[in-house]
Homo-oligomer: A and B are copies of this chain.
Amino acid sequence: MDDLERKILDLIPKSMAERGIVALESLIGPVRDVLNRRRFPDRPLSDLQIEWLLRLLSSMDSDKDVDAARVGEREGRVASPLVERLAAGFNHGVGRSGHVTAPQPKAAGASLMQQVCNSVATDAIRQLGLPNTRAGVVLPLSTGMSIALVAATLRRLFGVKRIVYPRIDHKSPRRGIALAGLEVVDVPTVLVDDAVQTDISELERALSTASDAAVLTTTTFFPPREPDPVKDVAKMCADRDVPHIINNAYGVQSVNIMSLVRSAIDAGRVDAVIQSSDKNFLSPVGGSVVVSPMEGLVHQIAETYAGRATAAPIVQTLAALLATGRLGYDHLRTEQHRNRVLLERRLVEIAEEIDQRVLQVRNPVSCAMTLDGLDAHDLGARLYNRRVTGPRAVERGEWGSCIDDYPHSYIVVNAAIGAREVDVERATTKLYKELKQRE
C-alpha cells in the first residue's frame, strides 16, 4: 500500500492526494474499527461503509482467489453474477460439517464475518439491557427453529426430554420443540382482571412432577397475555436445577422487558435467551440472536446445528446492526415508546365512542381494545383489505388469547420498533372508520 500511495502522489498534486487518502481513511476507519473491536458501534455506519466491510470479507473466500484450483465437491461456484450478488458474495455460506460457527477453511472471509456478527450482536444485547450476557451467536434460523436447536442441545447436554411451557397460543415454538423430539408439558394460565397470566402454582406443580424437564418462558406476546414472571421462574429453576430458556422474541426493543430478563439472569437460572433479529433489529426475517449467561452453552448450540448454512441471515443481521448503531437504536426505542403512547390514546378515544374499552394489560408494544358484540373476524378481514397489516382480531373464547374462555372479543394493534407514527395514525383512523361504518 505504501508503494501505491507514493505512486498516487506522483499522479496528482500532493496536498490533493493526501486529502484523498484522508477521505478514504475517514470512510474506512469505522469499518476497520468493526473488524478490530467487534463491538456494536455508537454511531451507525453508512451503507457505503457496510458494503466496504462485506466486500472486504467476501473477497477473502477461496472462490475469489483467481489463481486457485478448486477441486472440491462444493466450491462456492455460482450460476451467474446475479446469484453471487444475491449472496453478497458469501457463496460458501457459513459453518462446516463440524458445526455452524466453525471456521470454514475455504471461506476465511465468511468465517470472519460470522465471528464479527456474533460479537457485534452479543455486544448489542449487552448494551441494550443484558450486560450479564457472557456469549452469544446469531443463528441463520428464526426463533421457532432456534428453539428446536436449543431444545436439542439441552437434551444432548442434560438429558432434557420435556419442555414445561406456560401457555402461549403460538404455533412456531411448539413445532420447534416437536421437531427436536421433545415433549411439551403445558402449563395453564389464569385470568387476572383483563390480563392472562401464567399460573405460577401450576408451573411449580409441573416442575415437581416432570422429570428430565426444562422450562421455556416467554416475555413478549399479544395482549391479553402478559409476560411470564421470568425472575421467579429463574429462581425456581435454579432451586431445582432445571434448565431455563427465555423466548424474548421481540423484547430487546423494550427497556422494561430487558430489565426483567436481566434480573432473571441475576436472580436464578437462565440457560439461553432467544431473540428475533428481524423483530428487534430491523433485519429481514430469518435470523435470531441467542445469548447466554453461561460461557459454553452457546458453543454447544452451534455444535448441535447440522452442517453448513446460508450466510444470508448472518450478513443481514450484521448489516442491520451496523446501520443502526447504539445512537440509532436509542432513537428507535424513543420513537417506539412515543408511538405506543399514541396508539393507546387513539384506542381509548375510539373505544369511548363505540362503548368498548381498552384492555388493561401490561404490554410495552401492543394494545388491545374490546370488540364485544361485534364480528371480530369480519373486522380483521376488512382491515386487511383496507391495507392495514398486522392487527389481530380475536373472537371471544377463540384460540389466541392463551386461555380458554377469555370473556372478550378484541383487536390487538402493535406499535413495534421501526413503525412510524403514520402507521399508527392510518391504522387507527381506518379502524375507526370501519367500526363506525358498521354501526
Among A1-31, those with CB < 8 Å from B are: 1, 3-4, 7-8, 11-13, 15-24, 26-28, 30
In contact, B175 and A307 (Cβ under 8 angstroms)? yes
In contact, A282 and B77 (Cβ under 8 angstroms)? yes
Among A60-115, those with CB < 8 Å from B are: 60-62, 64-84, 86-94, 97-99, 103, 105-106, 108-109, 111-112, 115
In contact, B26 and A144 (Cβ under 8 angstroms)? no
Partner of A27 from the list B59, B87, B388 (CB cut-off 8 Å) is: B59
Asked whether any CB of chain B lies closer than 8 Å to the CB of A137, the reply is: no
Residues of the B chain whose Cβ atoms lie less than 8 Å from the Cβ of A66: 26-27, 30, 46
In contact, B170 and A152 (Cβ under 8 angstroms)? no
Residues of the B chain whose Cβ atoms lie less than 8 Å from the Cβ of A283: 78-79, 83
In contact, A27 and B316 (Cβ under 8 angstroms)? no
Asked whether any CB of chain B lies closer than 8 Å to the CB of A338, the reply is: no
Among A171-192, those with CB < 8 Å from B are: 171-176, 178-182
Asked whether any CB of chain B lies closer than 8 Å to the CB of A156, the reply is: yes
Asked whether any CB of chain B lies closer than 8 Å to the CB of A136, the reply is: no
Asked whether any CB of chain B lies closer than 8 Å to the CB of A255, the reply is: no
In contact, B142 and A414 (Cβ under 8 angstroms)? no
Asked whether any CB of chain B lies closer than 8 Å to the CB of A287, the reply is: yes
In contact, B105 and A19 (Cβ under 8 angstroms)? yes
Asked whether any CB of chain B lies closer than 8 Å to the CB of A243, the reply is: no
Closest B residue by C-beta to A8: B112
Residues of the B chain whose Cβ atoms lie less than 8 Å from the Cβ of A282: 77-79, 83
